[in-house]
């Protein structure tokens, strides 16, 4: 198996599993971890759309000189979530990030249910 296929499989299956693991009890984690999670989530969504759009281009339209499409289709699923997580963790600077998923903010009045 080549490095491209391994990166694609890690991006396709490994990143969502890692996001599920980090997302468990996300509200109790540090603000930097929450920001990194949101950055990785957004990066993975953008990478998924990019991979699907590039995957719909017929193979006859590809030329050997176009390495950008192959890179974006295979590596974006792994690289963009990592870049998003790094950007999110650097952006937070220790601020509290509100994840108002259930209509209750951090420090709200009780549990969301």
6-46 pLDDT, tens per residue?
A: 988 999 999 999 999 998 888 888 888 889 999 999 999 99
Domain span holding position 52:
1-12+31-57+66-93
| Residue 84: predicted pLDDT | 93
What's the average model confidence in pLDDT over 60-82?
83
Confirm whether 5 is domain-assigned.
yes
Task: Specify whether the CB–CB gap between 88 and 36 falls below 8 A.
Answer: yes
| Residue 55: predicted pLDDT | 80
Confirm whether 101 is domain-assigned.
no
Confirm whether 53 is domain-assigned.
yes
Confirm whether 105 is domain-assigned.
no
Structurally, how many domains does the chain consist of?
1
- Reported pTM: 0.73
What's the average model confidence in pLDDT over 54-61?
81
Confirm whether 50 is domain-assigned.
yes
Q: Contacts by 66-72 with C-beta closer than 8 Å and gap 24+?
A: 70/4
Residue with token string 């709200």 = 108
């Amino acid at each position: 198996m080549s490095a491209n296929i391994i990166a694609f499989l890690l991006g396709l299956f490994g990143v969502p599993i890692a996001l599920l693991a980090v997302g468990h009890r996300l509200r109790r984690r540090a603000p930097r971890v929450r920001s990194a999670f949101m950055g990785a989530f957004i990066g993975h969504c953008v990478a998924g759309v990019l991979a699907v759009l590039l995957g719909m281009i017929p193979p006859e339209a590809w030329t050997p000189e176009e390495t950008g499409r192959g890179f974006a289709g295979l590596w974006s699923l792994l690289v963009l979530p990592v870049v998003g997580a790094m950007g999110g963790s650097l952006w937070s600077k220790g601020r509290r990030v509100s994840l108002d998923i259930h209509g209750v903010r951090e420090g709200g009045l009780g549990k969301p249910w």
